[in-house]
Amino acid sequence: MSVDNPVPNSPSRVAVVTGAGRGIGAAIARRLAEDGFAVALIDLDEAGATASADAITAAGGKAVGLAADISDADEVERVVATVADKLGPPTVLVNNAGITRDNLLFKMSESDWDSVMGVHLRGAFLMSRAVQKHMTDQGWGRIVSLSSTSALGNRGQANYSTAKAGLQGFTKTLAAELGKFGITANAIAPGFIATDMTAATAERLGMGFDDFKAAAAKEIPVRRVGEPEDIAHTVSFLVSDGAGFVSGQVIYVAGGPKA
């Protein structure tokens, strides 16, 4: 079944959010559903994706949770075809799925490097390539990729900061190539956001999460850490019709300037 469009021939309002089983991705999916999109929540963790989709449906939105590894080309082709079949052609893609494998350079393994590149860079490439066919058919599209303030350099994250800087170049190139089809591409570079990812970092450093957040907040100009909804709000703006002249940009959402 495809999504009903209020205006004939208007683009389908179907969004795909990767890594939406929890954290920032789950908040983005909730927000896009509130904005009127039918949302496909894709995650390695099928139970998380399904639970987040069910919560959206229970709140009156339209959502489906689907399992896929976005670093696997066959799985990406399959899952994007399933989205088109179940919800209609996707016109919004949020490349959000991510992992960390932090280590100082001299201790970083090849697998730490390859797995981070695989999810962030290869994953965003495969998903964007698969979804852009639908966007160009519809003559409208929005691609938002999650970078990070770590793109500016961060101790212990040679792999992650490289991937997040890479996503900024990827975004600018997509903006240049796809603009003539009515598609914009932008990146959001969050600072510290309270999620399982940052909770795991606190644990690795042997700190309680509340103490870790309080210490981080002291260094942030607005004196608080970010919440997933801060990022969801920025995505909501970037995918809106009114943001059609904003493309190839990196927006730092970090409670301060950062870049």
Ligand X SMILES: NC(=O)c1ccc[n+]([C@@H]2O[C@H](COP(=O)([O-])OP(=O)(O)OC[C@H]3O[C@@H](n4cnc5c(N)ncnc54)[C@H](O)[C@@H]3O)[C@@H](O)[C@H]2O)c1
Residues with catalytic function: 160
Verify binding: residue 146, ligand X, rule CB under 6 A.
yes
Three-state SS at 258: coil
Binding mask 108-137 for ligand X (x = CB under 6 A): -----------x---x--------------
Contact segment (CB under 6 A) with ligand X among 38-46, 170-178, 207-215, 234-242 equals 38-46
User: Which of 148, 171 has the CB closer to ligand X?
Assistant: 148
The two three-digit tokens of residue 144, written as one number: 């938002």
Q: Which of 162, 186, 195, 247 is close enough to bind ligand X by CB under 6 A?
A: 195
Helices (H), 88-224: 110-117, 123-138, 158-178, 196-204, 209-218
Contact segment (CB under 6 A) with ligand X among 32-40, 129-137, 190-198, 232-240 equals 190-198
Q: How far is the CB of 18 from ligand X (least distance, A)?
A: 6
Contact segment (CB under 6 A) with ligand X among 67-75, 85-93, 216-224, 240-248 equals 67-75
- Angstrom CA distances, 164 to 48, 145, 176, 189, 211, stand at 24, 9, 19, 8, 26
C-beta separation of 24 from 232 below 8 A = yes
Verify binding: residue 166, ligand X, rule CB under 6 A.
no
Distance CA 43, CA 188 (A): 20
Distance CA 251, CA 187 (A): 6
Distance CA 227, CA 229 (A): 5
Q: Which of 93, 97, 151, 239 is close enough to bind ligand X by CB under 6 A?
A: 97
Task: Give the residues lining the site for ligand X (CB under 6 A).
Answer: 18-19, 21-25, 43-45, 48, 69-71, 96-99, 119, 123, 146, 148, 190, 192-193, 195-198
